[in-house]
Amino acid sequence: MQKKPSGFSWLKECAIIVVGALVLSTVIRAFIFQMFWIPSPSMRSTLVENDRIVVSRISTFRGDIERGDVIVFNDAKGWLPRAESEGAGRILRSVGEFIGILPANGEQTLVKRVIGVGGDRVQCCTANGALTVNGQEITEPYIPAGEPASRMEFDVTVPEGSVWVMGDNRPNSADSRFHMDPLENAFIDTDEIVGRATMVLWPLGHWSWLGDRDVFSAVKDS
């Protein structure tokens, strides 16, 4: 007859499973992918409120961030108001961090589209209401129909090791354009990029791949 496992053995097995799950979750989030929730309309209609997106961490390790990519990045420049969670909110945040839908350590993050990379000159707008990157006019299919690329003019050169980002919902996105005082605050350091958003996973009706690198295919490097 087989001996029944003792209470200690059962607890030991449970502890091993829990620790294993924690280690696996940490490794996946740190090196492979993480899920994020979309809280605002700044990326409509590419991303809408309550979408769940999959963000590839591998892209950042490989330095594989290009114009047209949708990225998630840490708010190291203080674009967002600071939010403190208390009580139940703090518990829910901890659970969200554990399962990978919220960033670790309470860090606030944003999601925007990369328009310019290091060395690029990004200008807006042309007579057609379009922006240009290194002199190449860009037709952007992801912004609202009839909407200019920006309602405010700008002419910037992106520092090396940084990106210039904009939301697809241009009239309702407080992106690089709105943080140019001082100018260096407008650029996102590549070290602060969490990863590249690759797909909308949920809800199923919004399922889609993300990224429009082909929109910038005619742009020559500076």
Match 């200690």 to its residue by tokens.
8
b/e sequence 48-59, b meaning 16+ C-beta within 10 Å: eeebbbbbbbeb
The yes-or-no answer on residue 42 being catalytic is yes
d(C-alpha 65, C-alpha 90), whole Å: 32
The active-site residue, picked from 3, 9, 40, 42, is 42
d(C-alpha 19, C-alpha 216), whole Å: 45
Query: What is the SS3 assignment for the chain?
Result: CCCCCCHHHHHHHHHHHHHHHHHHHHHHHHHCEEEEECCCCCCCCCCCCCCEEEEECHHHHCCCCCCCCEEEEECCCCCCCCCCCCCHHHHHHHHHHHHCCCCHHHCCEEEEEEEEECCCEEEECCCCCCEEECCEECCCCCCCCCCCCCCCCEEEECCCCEEEEECCCHHHCCCHHHHCCCHHHHCEEHHHEEEEEEEEEECHHHCEECCCHHHHCCCCCC
The active-site residue, picked from 59, 112, 173, 176, is 112
**Residues forming the active site:** 42, 112
